[in-house]
C-alpha cells in the first residue's frame, strides 16, 4: 500500500530558524543571547552615529531621557508597546508550534477594520456594550482571517508562510477601500473612517495610558498559564517538537494547527482594535504601520515566552520613543531605530548559532 505524506506531519525545519526556535542549550544562554544581541546592536548603532558626526553616548543619553526623563516618555512607551505585546504573544504561540505565520499585520488590520465598522456603522448600542462587542468582532475577525491560512494548508497543502504573507496585502487593500468608500466619514475631506465615539477605550485612572495596556499585561500571565497548565498548551509543545507523536495520539495535528493560528489571529485582531479604540479613534490608510512584522522580532527576542515577549515589546517601544526624542536634539536619520532592530535580529541569530557550537555545549 502506498502512503502519502500529510503536510501536517512534515517535521519541523532543522535550519537556522529551527535552531533559533529550539533555543540555546542552557538557561544562562537563553538570557545572555538576546541581551548580548541588544548590546551589540547598540554598539554598532553607536559606531554608525559616530560616522555621521553624532556623539553616541550623548545620543543614547538623550534616548534614555526621552523615555524616563520627560512626562510622557513612559506613557508613550506603554502605549506603543501595547499592540506589540498582543501581537508578539500570538506570534509566540504559533512559532512554539512551528507554525511559521507572517500574517500578523493582515490580521491586525482585519480585526481593527471589522471592529471599527461594527462600532461606527453597526447597530446603535450603549457605550460599554459597543466597546465590548467591537472587541469581540475584532477578535473573531482576526481569528477567521488567520484561519484561512490554516484551511488552505489542510485542504491544499499550501504553505502558511506564503498564504499568511499574501493575506497581508488583501487586508491592506480592504483597508484602502473601506476608508475611502465602505466606512468613510462623510464629513471628512480625507479618506478616514468615522470616529469610534462611545466605543473608545478609557484611560487607566491617574496614568494617561489607555485601558488596552492593562489588557495586554493581563494577557501575559493568562497565556503563560494556558501554555503550562492546559491540554492545549501541551499539544502546542508536542506539535512544535514532534508532530508525528501528536498524530499518533487522539489529537489531530491539523486541528491543533488551526487552533494555534486562530489564537494568533485573535491576539492580532484584538491588538488592532485596541490601537484604534485607545489611540487613533478612527482608521486611515496609514493605519498599517508594520507592527505585525515588528512582532516577529518581539516574539523571537522574547524566546517565544510570554514574559519575554513583554520585556522585548517594552524594549523596542522604548527605543522608538527615545530615538524620536533624540532626533529633535541630534541630526540622526529617522531610520536609525529600524537599523538597530535589524542588527538585533542579526546578532541574535549569530549569538544563538555560536551558543550551539559543539565545543561550547556542556558535556
Judge whether 19 and 352 are in contact, CB under 8 Å: yes
How many CA atoms lie less than 13 Å away from 100 in the CB half-sphere?
11
pLDDT at position 248: 62
In a domain, 209, yes or no: yes
Q: What are phi and psi of 334, to 5 degrees?
A: -70, -15
Q: How far apart are CA 336 and CA 62, in angstroms?
A: 14
Helix, coil or strand: residue 184: strand
In a domain, 4, yes or no: no
In a domain, 199, yes or no: yes
In a domain, 350, yes or no: no
| Counted domains in the chain | 1
In a domain, 349, yes or no: no
pLDDT at position 306: 95
Spans in the chain with pLDDT lower than 50: 1-14, 361-363
Q: How far apart are CA 208 and CA 86, in angstroms?
A: 20
In a domain, 347, yes or no: no
pLDDT at position 20: 54
pLDDT at position 53: 86
In a domain, 232, yes or no: yes
pLDDT at position 335: 81
Task: Report residue 237 as a C-alpha cell.
Answer: 509543545
In a domain, 16, yes or no: no
Judge whether 18 and 12 are in contact, CB under 8 Å: yes
Give the residue numbers spanning the domain of 212.
86-313
Amino acid at each position: 500500500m502506498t502512503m502519502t505524506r500529510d503536510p501536517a506531519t512534515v517535521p519541523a525545519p532543522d535550519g537556522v530558524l529551527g535552531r533559533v526556535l529550539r533555543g540555546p542549550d542552557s538557561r544562562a544562554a537563553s538570557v545572555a543571547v538576546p541581551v548580548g544581541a541588544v548590546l551589540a546592536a547598540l554598539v554598532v548603532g553607536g559606531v554608525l552615529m559616530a560616522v555621521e558626526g553624532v556623539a553616541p553616548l550623548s545620543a543614547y543619553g538623550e534616548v534614555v531621557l526621552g523615555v524616563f526623563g520627560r512626562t510622557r516618555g513612559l506613557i508613550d512607551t506603554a502605549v506603543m508597546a501595547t499592540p506589540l505585546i498582543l501581537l508578539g504573544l500570538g506570534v509566540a504561540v504559533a512559532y512554539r508550534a512551528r507554525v511559521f505565520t507572517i500574517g500578523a499585520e493582515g490580521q491586525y488590520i482585519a480585526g481593527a477594520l471589522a471592529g471599527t465598522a461594527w462600532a461606527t456603522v453597526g447597530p446603535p448600542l450603549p457605550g460599554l456594550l459597543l466597546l465590548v462587542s467591537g472587541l469581540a468582532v475584532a477578535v473573531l475577525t482576526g481569528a477567521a482571517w488567520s484561519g484561512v491560512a490554516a484551511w488552505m494548508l489542510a485542504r491544499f497543502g499550501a504553505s502558511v508562510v506564503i498564504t499568511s504573507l499574501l493575506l497581508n496585502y488583501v487586508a491592506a487593500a480592504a483597508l484602502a477601500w473601506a476608508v475611502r468608500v465602505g466606512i468613510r466619514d462623510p464629513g471628512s475631506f480625507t479618506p478616514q473612517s468615522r470616529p469610534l465615539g462611545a466605543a473608545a477605550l478609557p484611560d487607566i485612572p491617574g496614568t494617561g495610558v489607555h485601558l488596552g495596556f492593562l489588557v495586554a499585561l493581563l494577557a501575559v500571565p493568562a497565556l503563560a498559564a494556558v501554555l503550562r497548565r492546559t491540554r492545549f498548551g501541551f499539544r502546542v509543545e508536542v506539535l512544535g517538537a514532534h508532530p508525528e507523536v501528536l498524530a499518533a495520539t487522539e489529537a489531530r495535528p491539523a486541528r491543533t494547527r488551526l487552533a494555534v493560528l486562530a489564537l494568533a489571529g485573535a491576539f492580532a485582531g484584538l491588538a488592532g482594535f485596541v490601537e484604534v479604540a485607545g489611540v487613533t479613534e478612527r482608521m486611515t490608510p496609514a493605519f498599517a504601520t508594520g507592527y505585525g512584522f515588528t512582532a516577529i522580532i518581539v516574539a523571537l527576542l522574547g524566546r517565544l515566552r510570554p514574559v519575554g515577549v513583554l520585556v522585548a515589546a517594552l524594549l523596542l517601544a522604548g527605543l522608538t520613543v527615545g530615538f524620536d526624542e533624540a532626533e529633535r536634539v541630534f541630526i540622526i536619520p529617522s531610520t536609525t531605530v529600524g537599523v538597530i532592530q535589524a542588527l538585533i535580529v542579526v546578532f541574535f541569530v549569530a549569538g544563538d548559532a555560536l551558543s550551539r557550537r559543539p565545543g561550547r555545549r556542556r558535556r
